[in-house]
């Protein structure tokens, strides 16, 4: 997350603040005297991999420029339970108003990073890379994908615009996978790669010959995956997808694929436990 990214995320963060604050935080307004200052400590309440602290800093800045945000660990770090992640000093009312939006972002993003890190750790020592999918929370694609990299994962394409992936639903309109690859190739720019989904071992040689740049093995068992790796013989990178869990991910990695994509990294995120304790300064 560099400054450019934060600037481009501004509308997303403002929308999140607006839906929570609306016409005003009536609890803080009515209970906290104007002028009081506070200090907020953001703490991990479980072991986790951190993601989203620069985002949290941007949120607090959007709420009130008079807050000082001190980051205590870097995104991507795995910290033990009870670690301090950041400290904010500023008007008490601003800290209280920003709290929930800020935590909602941090808990989701660190949840994604933490889950990704577990998958990445499971395949350690193999050449397989853990990659994400487009199954992100609507509106949070950029944040979700950034969180995956904090957990050591790799990003697949961002959206429909920066990579071709021909899936079953596209193939329904073609006589053969080979036919669809040819149609795509004739229309696409020279910096575009074509990945295609196959569901049977038999389709693999054809799509490789037709010029696929990457092949996705959809819902293959680890055994079928091993056969596919042999059949491909290193001519194209292979990606496993579908039905892969923390339990079986290493089997896929050991079968020799290059990439393993996991929808659950972003579509079924367990929030990690992060608290914010606010006190008078």
**Contacting its own copies within 151-190 (CB under 8 A):** 154-167, 169-170, 172-174, 180, 183-184, 186-190
Q: How far apart are CA 273 and CA 167, in angstroms?
A: 37
Please report, as residue ranges, which positions from 82 to 141 form the binding site for its own copies (by CB under 8 A).
91-97, 99-101, 103-105, 107-108, 111, 129, 131, 134-141
Q: Smallest Cα–Cα separation from 85: which of 100, 67, 103, 97? A: 103
Among 56, 228, 259, 260, binds its own copies (CB under 8 A): 259
Q: What is the dihedral of CA 202, 204, 205, 206, to 10 degrees?
A: 90
- Count the alpha carbons within 13 Å of 221 in the hemisphere toward its beta carbon: 2
Please report, as residue ranges, which positions from 40 to 59 form the binding site for its own copies (by CB under 8 A).
none
Determine the interface stretch with its own copies among 69-77, 118-126, 149-157, 221-229 (rule: CB under 8 A): 149-157
- Residue 16 or 249 having the CB closest to its own copies: 16
Minimum distance between the CB of residue 197 and its own copies, rounded to whole angstroms? 11
- Count the alpha carbons within 13 Å of 215 in the hemisphere toward its beta carbon: 31
Among 120, 207, 217, 276, binds its own copies (CB under 8 A): 276
Owner of token pair 């989203």: 52
Q: Which of 197, 203, 239, 258 is catalytic?
A: 197
Query: What is the total residue count of the chain?
Result: 281
- Residue 16 or 85 having the CB closest to its own copies: 16
Judged on CB neighbours under 10 Å (0-12, 13-18, 19+), 159 is exposed
Does 197 participate in catalysis according to the annotation?
yes
Does 218 participate in catalysis according to the annotation?
yes
Residues annotated catalytic, as ranges = 100, 135, 167, 197, 218
């Amino acid at each position: 997350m560099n400054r450019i990214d934060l600037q481009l995320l501004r509308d997303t963060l403002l929308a999140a603040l607006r839906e929570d604050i609306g016409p005003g935080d009536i609890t803080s307004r009515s209970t906290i005297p104007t002028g009081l200052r506070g200090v907020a400590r953001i703490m991990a309440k479980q072991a986790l991999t951190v993601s989203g602290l620069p985002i949290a800093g941007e949120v607090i800045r959007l709420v009130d420029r008079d807050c000082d945000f001190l980051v205590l660990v870097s995104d991507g770090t795995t910290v033990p339970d009870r670690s301090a992640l950041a400290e904010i000093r500023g008007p008490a009312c601003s800290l209280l108003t920003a709290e929930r939006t800020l935590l909602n972002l941090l808990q989701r993003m660190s949840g994604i990073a933490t889950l990704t890190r577990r998958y990445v750790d499971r395949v350690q020592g193999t050449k397989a890379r853990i990659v994400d999918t487009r199954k992100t929370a609507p509106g949070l694609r950029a944040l979700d994908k950034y969180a995956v990299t904090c957990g050591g994962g790799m990003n697949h394409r961002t959206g429909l615009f920066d990579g071709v992936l021909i899936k079953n639903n596209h193939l329904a309109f073609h006589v053969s996978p080979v036919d669809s690859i040819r149609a795509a190739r004739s229309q696409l720019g020279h910096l575009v790669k074509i990945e295609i989904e196959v569901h049977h071992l038999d389709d693999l040689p054809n799509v490789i010959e037709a010029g696929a740049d990457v092949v996705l093995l959809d819902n293959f068992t680890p055994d079928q995956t091993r056969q596919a790796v042999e059949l491909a013989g290193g001519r194209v990178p292979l990606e496993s997808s579908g039905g892969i869990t923390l339990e079986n991910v290493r089997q896929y990695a050991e079968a020799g694929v290059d990439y393993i994509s996991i929808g659950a990294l972003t579509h079924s995120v367990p929030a990690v436990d992060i608290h914010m304790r606010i006190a008078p300064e």
